[in-house]
A = this chain, B = another copy of it.
Amino acid sequence: MSNRVTLSVDAMGGDFGPHVILPACISALKRYPYLEILLIGEISQLDDVFSKQNCPELLRSRLELVSAGESVSMDEKPSSAIRHRQDSSMCLAVKAVGEKRADACVSAGNTGALMAFGRMVLKMLPGIDRPAIIASVPTMTGHCYILDLGANVDCSAEHLLQFAIMGSVMMEAVEQKRRPTVGLLNVGEEIIKGNEQVRLANDLISQQSGLNYIGYIEGDDVFDGKADIVVCDGFVGNVVLKSSEGLARLITCKVQESFTRNWVRRLMALLSRPVLKEIQVQMDPSRRNGATLLGLQGIVIKSHGGADKKCFGYALDQAIAEVLQNVPVRISERLACYMNAPDERSSE
């Protein structure tokens, strides 16, 4: 890898397309002097939005606008995208990574289509059956990574093991955290523990002495920060993440209601504004925007569709961090170790 980092960015994805994504890219080019961006989209739209930006000439040389014939809609089925949208901004962004013209790609578009293009163009890492979506959430002690967030609704015990390994490597690489703890999400201790897959996965993961496995954790442990990596199937992960976003919204709304009920309170709100603002920022799920499609032979980052400029910037940050840490290669190396020595503990 040269000293430069090149990102291919799908300009057409998300709710606001280039209107948000182009300014976010310019801002990232300012933050990272070694960054180059291939911004892919409908070229007339890109030119139009670009003409309204105040982009210094020095940055302009590191931003290449690339024409794409079409784009993928948010409700298009992955199978249809694969068949009919290979000339889309999203697919071209992934292809740029496959052809080594970019080190990572970022899109705020249709997750299913992005995953399908990722698998088709980049292929899976050896030993990984399916990609997993991983993202971080805030906890009492900082933050943790949780996976899978919806790529796989039915997971075998082997898949959960693969998630544990990939999550561990990801955190070690991106956060420089040594031997991060891994917890397997399960139901309350009072009830007969978990379902078949979870019990089997517990056995499998326990056998991997390379992992710092702490066993089962429960729903409330996620935000308490009990584990650095929370492993679960994509159905559970998706529901946990989305319900948390919903609850955070509910609480924000209740706080605002409480502070506007009468004049005295509105005055209080005015005085407390810095504090309330700070809390709102901490609770803002977009602060940690940028989910990774893990398990591919290349870096693909999914941004929230509703991301604003700042929020899309976090997804770009995430992509750059993973390029600098060479995440897919590291996962691949660690996987090879695990595959060759699957039950170190039992042979001790």
- A residues with a Cβ closer than 8 A to B are 74-75, 78, 110-112, 138-140, 150-151, 153-154, 185, 187-192, 194-196, 218-224, 232, 234-236, 238-251, 253-255, 258-259, 265, 268, 271-272, 275, 278-279, 282-283
Contacts and interface: CB of A to CB of B under 8 A. Distances in A.
Smallest CB-CB A-B distances: 3 pairs: A219-B242, A220-B246, A219-B243
Given A153-B194, A247-B223, A236 B234 contact: no
Interface SS of A by simple majority: helix
A191 B151 CA distance: 7
Given A190-B74, A195-B154, A275-B259, A239 B239 contact: yes
Contact of A251 (B185, B235, B283): B283
Contacts of A275: 258-259, 265, 268
30 contacts: A112-B190, A138-B250, A150-B188, A153-B191, A154-B195, A185-B239, A187-B239, A188-B238, A218-B239, A218-B242, A219-B238, A219-B241, A219-B242, A219-B245, A219-B246, A220-B242, A220-B243, A220-B245, A223-B243, A223-B246, A236-B236, A239-B240, A240-B240, A244-B247, A247-B247, A247-B248, A248-B251, A251-B279, A265-B275, A268-B275
Q: Which of A188, A246, A248 has the most CB of B within 10 A?
A: A246
B268 A254 contact: no
A313 to B, nearest CB: 22
A174 to B, nearest CB: 22
Given A138-B250, A187-B234, 12 more contacts: A75-B189, A110-B190, A111-B188, A111-B190, A112-B190, A187-B238, A219-B244, A220-B249, A235-B236, A251-B279, A265-B275, A268-B268
